[in-house]
Amino acid sequence: MKYFLLYIKETLRFVLKPMSFMPAIMMMCLIFMLSSQEGTTSSQLSYKVGVKIFTFANEKLDKGWSQERIAELSTKYQYYVRKTAHFTEYFFLGVSVAFPLYVYGVRGLWLVFFAGAFCAGFAGLDEYHQSFVMGRGPSPKDVMIDCSGAFPGIILTRIVGWTGRMTIFKPLSNHKDEKGKDDKKKKG
């Protein structure tokens, strides 16, 4: 029974490990798709998101704003909605890039370095890509906002991965690790 469970565990690892890259690929496609929108389309999307945010706030906080006031607020705060979107999408990219690296054994500062470099490079390429889209342009400030979103995602993944490895998944660790510990105890 022990070997059967070991076989199942190794088979699942073999199948699922490569699939850990799928969320990162999907996030990169989403970011590319959003940055491929023309300037007016992107502005309209930001405006619509702002309207939804202020409508939700109006309902939950009982502000009594009219539709005109909500539209005015959405226009006024559209810049902040756009920058928050940059931060958020790169936060999720940071998580989705760091997770498969963590799964494949990249830990500690190397995880932060490799995932951070990848996210920063992708942010730079994304801004360069926007220079070819009508009504859009590259912005070093956006790259900084993107990086400031990616790094907390990477750090969060590192913390959650380490915590999970030390608690929940400790019993599922490789049998090789347990054997190595037994050998050290016998020698020591």
Task: Provide the residue-wise pLDDT of the chain in tens; the chain has 188 residues.
Answer: 788 888 887 887 788 888 999 999 999 999 999 999 999 999 999 999 999 999 999 999 999 999 999 999 999 999 999 999 999 999 999 999 999 999 898 999 999 999 999 999 999 999 999 999 999 999 999 999 999 999 999 999 999 988 887 887 667 665 454 444 555 555 54
Residue 176's CB is within 10 A of a number of other CB atoms, namely 8
Q: For position 11, what pLDDT does the model report? A: 84
Q: For position 181, what pLDDT does the model report? A: 52
Rg (CA), the chain: 22
Q: For position 10, what pLDDT does the model report? A: 83
| CB under 8 A, 24+ apart: contacts of 12-21 | 17/100, 17/103, 17/104, 20/99, 20/100, 20/103, 20/104, 21/100
| CB under 8 A, 24+ apart: contacts of 49-56 | 49/81, 49/85, 50/74, 50/75, 50/77, 50/78, 50/81, 53/81
Judged by DSSP in three states, 1 sits in coil
Rounded Cα gap, residues 5 and 155, in angstroms = 33
List Cβ neighbours of 27 (8 Å cut-off, separation of 6 or more): 89, 92, 93, 96
Which tokens sit at 110?
Answer: 């190397």
pTM over 0.85: no
CA nearest to 125, candidates 157, 93, 164: 93
Q: For position 34, what pLDDT does the model report? A: 95
Rounded Cα gap, residues 161 and 45, in angstroms = 35
Rounded Cα gap, residues 37 and 45, in angstroms = 10
- Counting every residue, how long is the chain? 188
